[in-house]
């Protein structure tokens, strides 16, 4: 603010802020306005006006290279990563990790690598922007000092021109220039107005430069806070989140093993029950059924009866055959005897 007060003081009464060097410069500027030379008024102050124009170009270049919106987008992206969660409506589960899953096939390690890379990328981007802002702050400070010096120089030019104009109007000029004095006065007045305009532009640039510098410093401070507060906090939260995921995975695995053990116990108990029942039934089925014995005995008796009947029938058939053979034999012998007797006759 003291620098801006100096600008205001110079714009009101520059002589109050002049030192010996400034007074010598004022006298030198007066000597540059040699009315006997036609171009002295034309080129008067052109050097400082050129410097002011170059300074404006430096400001434009500095502003063009500093994309504050881009920095804001990076910070917004950081906050967005912190706030993102994966909400699965089907499973009704909410992830504690600050990224949105792109594939359900990603392993926990894959997801950790992805989020770590995102953190490093944002951290590098923030560091680059902070360095750029710090450079811009230094450059804007240099531009401000240059503008302050140019303001003082153009103010001395104006003061010298006004003094020269006053002396000319007081009749202090070479006699051979008397015929061009009206034109000289008109040109000097125009030059003074032109330099006053340059001075006003320089005066307006001073608070503008300070505002740009303040914005750059504020953003650099914000990025500093993000780099050394938010990012470490984020990394800690990621570690906690993945630790939580590991614990949840271990709990799920333990639960699965417990459930499987319980199922095996129940299944084995059921199998043992069925085996015991089947064994008992098999043991009881070894006793001979009385009905079966009665049926078997009946069949056996029928078989014996059939055998006895068949044997009787066989005996009868053999007896009949024997009788038939005896009869045949007796008949055959009678026939042979008869045949023998007939032959002997």
Integer angstrom CA distances of residue 237 from 119, 223, 248 = 12, 19, 16
269 is written with which tokens?
């108990």
Looking up tokens 């630790």 gives 243
Specify the pLDDT at position 130.
83
CA-to-CA separations, 324 to 244, 330, 332, in angstroms, rounded:
114, 10, 12
180: DSSP letter:
G
Angle of helix 20-32 relative to helix 108-169, nearest 10 degrees, comes to 60
How far apart CA 247 and CA 224 sit, in angstroms, is 34
Would you state the pLDDT for residue 100? Answer: 46
Distance from C-alpha of 286 to C-alpha of 333, rounded to nearest angstrom: 69
The pLDDT value recorded for residue 189 is: 92
With b for 16 or more beta-carbon neighbours within 10 A and e for fewer, the 90-99 pattern comes to: eeeeebebbb
What pLDDT score does 65 carry? 58
pTM of the model as a whole: 0.54
- Please, are residues 110 and 33 in contact by the beta-carbon 8 Å criterion? no
Measured distance CA(335)–CA(343) in Å, rounded: 12
Total count of residues recorded for the chain: 345
E strand residue ranges, the chain: 87-88, 93-94
Give the chain's count of helices (H) and strands (E). Answer: 9, 2
Q: SS3 of 93, please?
A: strand
- Residue 92: what pLDDT? 40
pLDDT for 27 equals 81
User: Which contacts qualify for 315-320: CB closer than 8 Å, 24 or more apart?
Assistant: none
Q: What is the mean pLDDT of each run of 10 residues along the chain (345 residues)?
A: 50 58 80 82 87 79 60 60 48 45 56 74 82 85 88 90 89 85 91 90 87 86 83 79 80 89 91 88 69 84 89 89 87 82 71
**DSSP assignment of 236-286, as one string?**
HHHHHHHHHHHHHHHHHHHHHHHHHHHHHHHHHHHHHHHHHHHHHHHHHTT
Q: Which pLDDT does position 196 carry in this prediction?
A: 92
Residue 63: per-residue pLDDT: 62
User: Which residues make beta-bridge pairs with 130?
Assistant: none
């Amino acid at each position: 603010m003291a620098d801006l007060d100096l600008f205001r003081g110079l714009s009101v009464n520059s002589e109050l802020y002049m030192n010996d060097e400034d007074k010598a410069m004022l006298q030198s500027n007066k000597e540059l306005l040699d009315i006997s030379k036609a171009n002295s008024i034309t080129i008067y102050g052109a050097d400082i006006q050129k410097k002011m124009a170059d300074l404006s170009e430096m400001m434009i270049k500095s502003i063009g290279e500093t994309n504050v919106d881009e920095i804001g987008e990076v910070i917004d992206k950081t906050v967005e990563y912190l706030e993102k969660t994966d909400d699965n409506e089907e499973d009704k589960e909410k992830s504690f990790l600050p990224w949105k899953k792109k594939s359900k096939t990603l392993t926990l390690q894959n997801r950790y690598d992805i989020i770590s890379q995102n953190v490093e990328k944002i951290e590098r981007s923030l560091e680059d922007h902070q360095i750029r802002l710090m450079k811009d702050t230094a450059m804007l400070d240099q531009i401000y000092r240059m503008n302050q010096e140019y303001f003082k120089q153009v103010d001395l030019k104006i003061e010298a021109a006004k003094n020269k104009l006053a002396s000319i109007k007081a009749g202090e000029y070479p006699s051979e220039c008397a015929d061009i004095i009206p034109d000289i006065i008109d040109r000097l007045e125009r030059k003074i107005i032109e330099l006053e305009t340059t001075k006003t532009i320089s005066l307006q640039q001073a608070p503008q430069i300070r505002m740009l510098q303040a914005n750059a410093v504020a953003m650099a401070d914000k990025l500093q806070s993000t780099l050394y507060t938010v990012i470490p906090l984020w990394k800690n939260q990621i570690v906690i989140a993945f630790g939580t995921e590991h614990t949840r995975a271990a709990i799920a695995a333990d639960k699965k093993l417990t459930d499987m053990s319980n199922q095996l116990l129940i299944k084995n108990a059921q199998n043992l029950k069925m085996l015991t029942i089947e064994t008992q039934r098999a043991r009881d089925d070894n006793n001979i059924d009385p009905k079966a014995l009665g049926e078997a005995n009946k069949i056996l008796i029928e078989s014996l009866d059939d055998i006895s009947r068949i044997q009787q029938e066989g005996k009868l058939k053999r007896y009949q055959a024997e009788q038939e053979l005896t009869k045949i034999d007796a008949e055959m012998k009678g026939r042979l005897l008869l045949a023998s007797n007939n032959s002997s006759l």
